[in-house]
């Protein structure tokens, strides 16, 4: 019988045993789903994904702290994300005294009683030689007739370059803009509040409160007009030519951010949580399996050597395990992670920190298995058939690999399965404890939710927690099923 | 007269008793279980030499020492290497002619070669076969270890021959079975086949039939006798069963607490036992013929065999012996010849 068919035989036996139990069926189904998602995520994961997770500019198009889109079924008001590609719009043209002015009037209909999360204008255009400078300005005309003049504006000097690359999202002096638009309420406006939540004032209906002593803001639905003015100072350039250039720009767009985003919402940095969770699958499985495999390999090797050879090496390994077992893991982990966080400065710091954390985890987690494998080895070593193998002259290596190891393989498998969620849980626990490596793991998402979120942002807290729980559950169920395979006494 | 196959002189095996830290610190001398405490015997070529005694007398330890599964504490032996492996062993290892000392330090290569020549059959056929291996792979292991048979087919051939030699026919039906799929007697046949497959010249049989049903003991013993005749084997046969010993043994040595108390040809020892312990053993054997019932007087040996860690001073049997004299409590009896080739260690026969 060849090795392959032997392995296949034992595998099909194990599979049959596992499938005969409910927990086994459930575990296998979950595992297949997990592995499937992980493989798919690993395949489609952009190569620089882990590096860009923490980069804010990548996520600036998204609203921050936005619940998922399906939250509308839960009573959330979801203003959709509205995107206008301004290259296809025809502006009003005007030329006067060496200036060319393009005016875009964009109509935005706010139908739901909620405030959009932001306004973003992006420009990336090459203008012809002869354009000296440019100014871009945005006014907003609200449904109630108020005009918010120069809500955003930017000046670009083009004497040395012909590239305009702009992102307009900052609101300059928004309090003054609002005040001049609502002169009659000016003395009652809370300037600080305007600066803290400008979108509320931009997209809101301002009116006196009942006691006429303050201003209340309610969402204002209706037709908003965004007046985007491009004001170029030019030398010998036709307006048509310039317009063509603008229409052929790489990007010229207006984005009114909605209040909901995607499948899983966003966090405080507007990051798409769906992405973080999705790409967290292979990362979680990889770190779980990596630590489990490494610690199991070390534990089995140490246990075998300890049990089989005995003597000084046995004593040495067992005392090492004792010492390791009496050192508290958590303080060591915190110490190591903190010292790396403080001293290491490379760009791959998150990965280095994560690697260090797992190195510590591996170093401290093989001991239990080593003790079990040692005691199993001791009992197998004294079996008569091992003596018989010695009598025919079999080497130690042969006895270990042919007589001892095959018997402990099922236990190794069970231990592997049980220790897999440990690494994932520990990583999550550490992140929540404040050891933040920044690597986009589920634990990291949870940790940031703890730091920057609140219980109202359930879409940020619950999904990573649930996923960690589900992965752990999968392996624990699998372990339960395997336990019955390796320990026939547990079978009914 | 045949040559001597194995001559053992003053063989000892002491197992240290684990001491506590306090013992070590307070200087309590290390204590030992004296499992085998200075025994000497000869095994003649082509003979079945039996070691008989009750549990704990050290007979199994002696067998394991000869099979070199454990190291002797001290002792000397002359072992005649068979012609098959003589060329594998460098000349300087031999002490004289074809003889070498089994209990000395031997180079690894010599050790491995000797494993071809000395094999052991264990008492328990349920434990001596790995339950996770097929009969075929159990028998293949010695061949792989000693690189016998270059191809799988060749090894298969040798395995088939070995299986039919121990009357497991047809062999192809057995090679793919696991030990739990065959009976105890068949298992012991497999164990015998494993011992024989390397073509040894000395086989240590450690109570090979005592765990088998009475109905198949004779078959297995007959098989061992047949194999001996076929291959000119020598056996060191260990048993506690005098009936079996009577059936199979040429010469016999009765052991008590790590010592040989009586030795000689089987007929003499069993029909005319001299040592009180041997007498007790023989008289304990159920006698099918009522007229023989009183032929050997029962010796009322009392109590249990003492621990080998606390061996009584003087003659080891004296606390249990009905004939114990004063000298028995202080001095160990020497081996004396009571009739030709028949020796015993008892003060009843020794001159003081």
Q: How much is the pLDDT for A487?
A: 64
Q: Are A423 and A358 in contact (CB under 8 A)?
A: yes
Q: Which residue of A393, A396, A406 to mutate against B (max B Cβ within 10 Å)?
A: A393
B116 close to A (CB below 8 A): yes
**A198 domain residue, yes or no:** yes
Q: Domain boundary residue among A226, A257, A288? A: A257
Q: Which residues contact A2 (CB under 8 A, 6 or more apart)?
A: none
| Same domain (yes/no): A118, A199 | yes
pLDDT at residue B295, as a whole number: 62
In this complex, the residue of B127, B129, B142 whose CB is nearest that of residue A392 is B142
Angle of helix A311-326 relative to helix A273-309, nearest 10 degrees?
140
Domain identity same for A114 and A238: yes
Q: How many CB pairs below 8 A link A and B?
A: 55
The pLDDT confidence band at residue A258, using thresholds 50, 70 and 90, is confident
Cβ separation B115–A391 shorter than 8 A = yes
CA distances from B310 to A60, A176, B13, B307, B322 (A): 87, 104, 15, 5, 20
pLDDT > 70? residue A486:
no
Residue of B nearest to A395 (CA): B145
Final residue of a domain: which of A257, A289, A311?
Answer: A257
Does residue A263 lie within any of the structural domains? no
The answer to whether residues A51 and A109 belong to one domain is no
How many Å apart are CA B245 and CA B248, to the nearest integer? 5
Best of A392, A394, A395, A486 to substitute, by most chain B Cβ atoms within 10 angstroms, is A392
In A, minimum Cα distance to B127 occurs at A384
C-alpha A196/C-alpha A87 separation (Å) is: 32
A310–chain B Cβ distance below 8 A for any pair: no
Long-range contacts of B12-20 (CB under 8 A, 24+ apart): B12/B36, B12/B37, B12/B38, B12/B72, B12/B73, B12/B74, B12/B75, B13/B58, B13/B61, B13/B62, B13/B65, B13/B70, B13/B72, B13/B73, B14/B73, B17/B309
Distance from CA of B252 to the nearest CA of A (A): 25
**Weakest-pLDDT range from A171-185, A307-321, B263-277:** A171-185
Q: Is the pLDDT of residue A490 over 70?
A: no
For A129, residues 6+ apart whose C-beta sits below 8 A from its C-beta are A162
Instruction: Provide the token pair at A114.
Output: 């909620």
From chain A residues 357-396, the ones with a CB under 8 A of any chain B CB are 383-385, 387-395
In the structure encoding, which two tokens stand for residue A26, read together?
């459930």
For residue A188, being part of any structural domain is answered with: yes
Which CA distances in Å does A325 have to A319, A366, A414, A422?
10, 10, 21, 16
Angstroms from B115 CA to nearest CA on chain A: 6
B122 touches chain A (CB under 8 A): yes
Residue A112 has pLDDT above 50, yes or no: yes
pLDDT at B298: 66
Are A46 and A178 members of one domain? no
Q: Give yes or no for a contact between A459 and A264, defined as CB atoms under 8 angstroms apart.
A: yes
Q: Is A407 on the interface with B (CB under 8 A)?
A: yes
Three-class HEC string of chain A: CCHHHHHHHHHHHHHHHHHCCHHHHHHHHHHHHHHHHHHHHHHHCCCCHHHHCCCHHHHCCCCCCCCCHHHHHHCCCCCCCEEEEHHHCCCEEEEECCEEEEEEEEEEEECCCCCCCEEEEEEEEECCCCEEEEEEEEEEECCCCCEEEEEEEEEEECCCCCEEEEEECCCCCHHHHHHHHCHHHHHHCCHHHHHHCHHHHHCEEEEECCCCCCEEEEECCEEEEEEEEEEEEECCCCHHHHHHHHHCCCEEEEEEECCCCCCCCECCCCCEHHHHHHHHHHHHHHHHHHHHHHHHHHHHHHHHHHHHHCHHHHHHHHHHHHHHHHCCHHHHHHHHHHHHHHHCCCCCHHHHHHHHHHHHHHHHHCHHHHHHHHHHHHHHHCCHHHHHHHHCCCCHHHHHHHHHHHHHHHHHHHHHHHHHHHHHHHHHHHHHHCCCCCCCCHHHHHHHHHHHCCCCCHHHHHHHHHHHHHHHHHHHHHHHHHHHHHCHHHCC
CB-closest option in A1, A385, A395 to B128: A385
- Asked whether residue A228 falls in the same domain as residue A300, the answer is no
Structure tokens, A209: 């409160």
Q: Which residue has the tokens 């020796």?
A: B343
State which residue of chain B sits closest to A397, comparing Cα positions: B145
Can you spell out the DSSP letters for B242-262? HHHHHHH-SEEEEEETTEEEE
Helices A458-486 and A3-19, packing angle to 10 deg: 110
Closest to A391 (Cβ–Cβ): which among B67, B129, B132?
Answer: B67
List the CATH number of the domain containing A390.
Answer: 1.10.3720.10
The span from the CA of A204 to the CA of A105, in Å, is 20
| pLDDT confidence bin for A462, thresholds 50/70/90 | very high
Question: Distance (Å) from the C-alpha of residue B298 to the closest C-alpha of chain A?
Answer: 37
8 Å CB contact between B254 and B237: no
Q: Which residues of B touch A395 (CB under 8 A)?
A: 145
Question: Has this prediction a pTM greater than 0.95?
Answer: no
Three-state secondary structure call for residue B81: coil
The pLDDT confidence band at residue A55, using thresholds 50, 70 and 90, is confident
Residue B176: its chain A contacts at CB < 8 A?
1
pLDDT, tens digit, 9 for 90 and up, residues B128-156: 998 888 899 999 999 999 988 888 889 99
Among the three residues A222, A257, A292, which one is the final residue of a domain in this structure?
Answer: A257
Chain A: nearest CA to B129, how far in angstroms? 5
Alpha carbons A219 and A77: distance in angstroms, whole number = 11
Residue B122 to residue A394, Cβ atoms within 8 A: no
Which of chain B's residues have a Cβ under 8 Å away from the Cβ of A385? 127-130
pLDDT of residue A406: 82
Asked whether residue A412 is domain-assigned, the answer is yes
Best residue of B60, B113, B130, B187 to probe chain A, by most A CBs closer than 10 Å: B130
CB contact under 8 Å between A388 and B128, yes or no, is: yes
CA B342 → CA A294, A467, B249, B267, B273, distances in Å? 65, 83, 15, 10, 9
Strands B336-339 and B342-344: antiparallel
Going residue by residue through chain B, which has 352 residues, state the pLDDT in tens, using 9 for 90 and above: 578 889 998 999 999 888 888 888 888 888 888 889 889 999 998 899 999 988 888 889 999 999 988 888 888 888 888 887 888 888 888 887 788 888 888 888 888 888 989 999 998 888 899 888 889 999 999 999 998 888 888 999 999 999 998 888 888 889 888 888 898 889 999 999 999 999 899 999 998 888 888 888 888 999 999 999 888 889 999 998 888 888 889 899 999 988 999 999 998 898 888 888 888 888 877 777 776 666 666 667 777 788 878 888 888 888 888 888 888 888 888 888 888 889 999 888 877 5
Residue B42: both structure tokens together: 């000869």
Q: Tokens 């007959």 — which residue?
A: B222
Decide if A384 and B142 are in contact by the 8 Å CB cutoff: no
- Within a domain: A41: yes
How many Cβ atoms sit within 10 Å of the Cβ of residue A440?
23
For A279-290, what is the mean pLDDT? 88
SS3 B346: coil
Mutation for B interface: A384, A386, A397, A409, most B CBs within 10 A: A384
Length of chain A, please? 492
Alpha carbons B156 and B172: distance in angstroms, whole number: 9
- The domain that holds A155 is classified in CATH as 2.60.120
Query: Does residue A338 belong to any structural domain of this protein?
Result: yes
Q: Are residues A407 and A346 in the same domain?
A: yes
Residue of B122, B132, B146 lying closest to A384 (CB–CB)? B122
Partner A contacted by B130 (CB < 8 A): yes
Q: Do A392 and B132 touch (CB under 8 A)?
A: no
- Indicate the helix (H) or strand (E) that contains B204: strand B202-206
A206 is written with which tokens? 């301002």
Tell if the CB–CB gap between A387 and B130 is shorter than 8 Å.
Answer: no
How close, in Å, is residue B45 to chain A by CA atoms? 21
- Shortest distance between the Cα of A74 and any Cα of chain B, in A, equals 59
Give A-chain residues touching B132 at CB under 8 angstroms: 406-407
Listed residue (B319, B298, B69, B16) closest to A392, CA to CA: B69
Residues in Cβ contact with B123 at an 8 Å cutoff, skipping those fewer than 6 apart: B60, B206, B207, B208, B210, B211
The yes or no reply on domain B4-125+202-215+230-306 and CATH 3.40.50.300 is yes
Question: Which residues lie closer than 8 Å to A384 by C-beta, 6 or more apart?
Answer: B122, B124, B127, B128
- Co-location of A227 and A293 in the same domain: no
Q: How far apart are CA B345 and CA B334, in angstroms?
A: 5
Which one of A1, A384, A407 has the shortest CB-CB distance to B132?
A: A407
Look at residue A375 and tell me if it is in a domain: yes
> Taking CB atoms and an 8 Å cutoff, what residues of chain B touch A393?
111-112, 115-116, 142, 145-146
Predicted local distance difference test score (pLDDT) of residue B352: 59
Of A385, A391, A398, which has the smallest distance from its Cβ to B69's Cβ?
Answer: A391
Alpha-carbon distances of A480 from A21, A257, A296, A420, rounded to whole Å: 10, 48, 18, 13
Say whether residue A150 is in contact with chain B using an 8 A CB cutoff: no
Residues A384, B128: C-beta atoms closer than 8 Å: yes
Q: Which of A8, A32, A18 is nearest to A474 (CA)?
A: A32
Residue B178 to chain A, least CA–CA distance (Å) = 13
- How many separate domains does chain A show? 2
**B69 contact A CB<8A:** yes
Same domain, A358 and A298: yes
Cβ(B43)–Cβ(B4) under 8 Å? yes
Chain B residues with beta carbon closer than 8 angstroms to that of A381: none
Domain ranges of chain B: 4-125+202-215+230-306
Distance CA B346, CA B335 (A): 7
Return all residues near B125 (Cβ < 8 A) that are at least 6 apart. B184, B187, B188, B190, B191, B211, B212
Q: Are residues A37 and A185 in the same domain?
A: no
The C-alpha angle A288, A290, A295, rounded to 5 degrees, equals 100
Contacts of B191 in chain A (CB under 8 A): 388
Residue A252: partners with Cβ closer than 8 Å, 6 or more residues away: A85, A86, A87, A122, A123, A124, A125, A246
> In chain A, which residues have their Cβ closer than 8 Å to the Cβ of B128?
384-385, 387-388
Q: pLDDT category, A342, cuts 50, 70, 90?
A: confident
Sign, Cα dihedral of A433, A437, A438, A439:
negative
Q: What is the mean pLDDT of residues A56-60?
A: 83
Whether the Cβ atoms of residue A53 and residue A276 lie closer than 8 Å to each other = yes
| B129·A385 Cβ contact <8 A | yes
Residue A66 lies in a domain: no
B106-to-A359, B92, B94, B118, B317 alpha-carbon distances in Å: 45, 11, 11, 15, 37
Angle at B251 (CA atoms; ends B206, B339), nearest 5 degrees: 145
Which residue of chain B has the CA closest to A390? Answer: B69
The distance of B179 to chain A (nearest Cα, Å) reads 12
Same domain assignment for residues A102 and A32: no
Quick: pLDDT tens for A410-425: 788 888 888 888 888 8
Per-residue model confidence (pLDDT) at position A488: 58
Find the domain containing A178 and state its range: 80-257
pLDDT bucket at A1, cuts 50 / 70 / 90: very low
């Amino acid at each position: 019988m060849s090795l392959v068919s032997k392995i296949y035989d034992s595998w099909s036996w194990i599979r049959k045993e596992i499938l005969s139990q409910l927990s086994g069926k459930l575990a296998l189904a979950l595992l297949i789903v997990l592995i499937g998602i992980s493989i798919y995520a690993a395949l489609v994961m952009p190569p620089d994904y882990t590096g860009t997770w923490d980069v804010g500019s990548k996520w600036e198009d998204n609203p921050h702290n936005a619940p998922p889109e399906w939250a509308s079924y839960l009573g959330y008001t979801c203003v959709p994300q509205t995107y206008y590609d301004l290259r296809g719009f025809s502006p009003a043209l005007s030329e006067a005294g060496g200036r060319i002015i393009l005016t875009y009037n964009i109509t935005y209909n706010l139908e739901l009683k909620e405030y959009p999360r932001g306004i973003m204008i992006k420009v990336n255009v090459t203008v012809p030689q002869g354009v000296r400078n440019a100014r871009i300005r945005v006014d907003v005309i609200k449904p109630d007739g108020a005009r918010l003049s120069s809500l955003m504006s930017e000046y670009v000097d083009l004497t040395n370059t012909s590239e305009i690359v702009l992102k307009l999202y900052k609101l300059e002096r928004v309090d003054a803009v609002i005040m001049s638009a609502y002169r009659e309420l000016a003395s009652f406006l809370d300037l600080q509040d305007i600066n803290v939540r400008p979108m509320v004032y931009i997209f809101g209906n301002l009116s006196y409160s009942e006691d006429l002593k303050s201003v209340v803001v309610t969402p204002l639905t209706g037709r908003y007009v965004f007046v985007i003015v491009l004001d170029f100072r030019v030398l010998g350039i036709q307006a048509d030519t310039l317009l063509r250039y603008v229409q052929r720009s790489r990007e010229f767009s207006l984005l009114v951010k909605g209040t909901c985003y995607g499948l899983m919402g966003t966090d405080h940095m507007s990051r798409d949580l769906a992405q973080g969770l999705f790409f967290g699958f292979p990362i979680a499985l990889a770190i779980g399996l990596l630590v489990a495999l490494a610690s199991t390999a070390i534990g089995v090797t140490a246990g075998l050597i300890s049990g089989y050879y005995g003597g000084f090496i046995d004593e040495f390994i067992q005392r090492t395990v004792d010492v390791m077992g009496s050192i508290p893991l958590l303080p060591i982990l915190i110490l190591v992670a903190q010292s790396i966080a403080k001293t290491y400065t490379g760009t791959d710091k998150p990965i280095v920190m994560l690697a260090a954390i797992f190195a510590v985890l591996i170093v401290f987690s093989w001991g239990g298995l080593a003790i079990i494998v040692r005691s199993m080895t001791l009992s197998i070593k004294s079996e008569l058939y091992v003596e018989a193998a010695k009598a025919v002259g079999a080497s130690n290596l042969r006895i270990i690999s042919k007589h001892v190891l095959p018997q402990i393989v099922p236990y190794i498998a069970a231990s592997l399965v049980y220790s897999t969620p440990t690494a994932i849980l520990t990583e999550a626990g550490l992140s929540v404890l404040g050891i933040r490596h920044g690597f986009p793991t589920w634990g990291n998402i949870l940790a940031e939710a703890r730091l920057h979120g609140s219980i109202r942002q359930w879409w940020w807290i619950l999904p990573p927690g649930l996923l960690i729980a589900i992965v752990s559950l999968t392996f624990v169920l699998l372990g339960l099923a395997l336990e019955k395979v390796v320990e026939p006494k547990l079978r009914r | 007269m045949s040559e001597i196959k194995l001559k053992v002189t003053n063989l000892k095996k002491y197992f240290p008793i684990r001491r506590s830290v306090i013992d070590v610190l307070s200087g309590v001398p290390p204590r030992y279980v004296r499992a085998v405490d200075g025994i000497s015997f000869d095994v003649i070529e082509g003979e079945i030499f039996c070691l008989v005694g009750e549990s704990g007398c050290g007979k199994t330890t002696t067998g394991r020492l000869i099979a070199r599964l454990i190291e002797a504490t001290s002792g000397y032996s002359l072992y005649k290497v068979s012609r098959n492996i003589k060329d594998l062993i460098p000349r300087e290892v031999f002490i004289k002619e074809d003889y070498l000392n089994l209990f000395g330090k031997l180079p690894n290569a010599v050790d491995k070669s000797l494993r071809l020549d000395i094999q052991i059959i264990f008492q328990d056929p349920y434990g001596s076969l790995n339950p996770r291996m097929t009969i075929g792979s159990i028998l293949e292991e010695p061949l792989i270890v000693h690189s016998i048979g270059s191809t799988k087919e060749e090894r298969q051939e040798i395995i088939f021959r070995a299986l039919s030699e121990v009357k497991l026919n047809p062999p192809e039906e057995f090679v793919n079975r696991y030990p739990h799929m065959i009976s105890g007697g068949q298992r012991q046949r497999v164990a015998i086949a494993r011992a024989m497959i390397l073509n040894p010249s000395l086989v240590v049989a450690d109570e090979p039939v005592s765990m088998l049903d009475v109905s198949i003991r004779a078959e297995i013993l007959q098989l061992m006798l047949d194999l001996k005749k076929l291959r000119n084997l020598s056996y060191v046969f260990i048993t506690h069963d005098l009936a079996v010993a009577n059936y199979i043994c040429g010469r016999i040595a009765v052991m008590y607490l790590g010592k040989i108390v009586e030795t000689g040809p089987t007929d003499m020892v069993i029909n005319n036992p001299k040592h009180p312990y041997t007498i007790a053993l023989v008289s304990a054997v159920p006698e099918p013929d009522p007229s023989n019932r009183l032929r050997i007087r029962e010796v009322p040996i009392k109590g249990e065999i003492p621990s080998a860690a606390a061996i009584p001073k003087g003659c080891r049997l004296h606390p249990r012996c009905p004939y114990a004299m004063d000298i028995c409590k202080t001095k160990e009896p020497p081996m004396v010849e009571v009739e030709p080739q028949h020796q015993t260690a008892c003060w009843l026969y020794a001159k003081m």
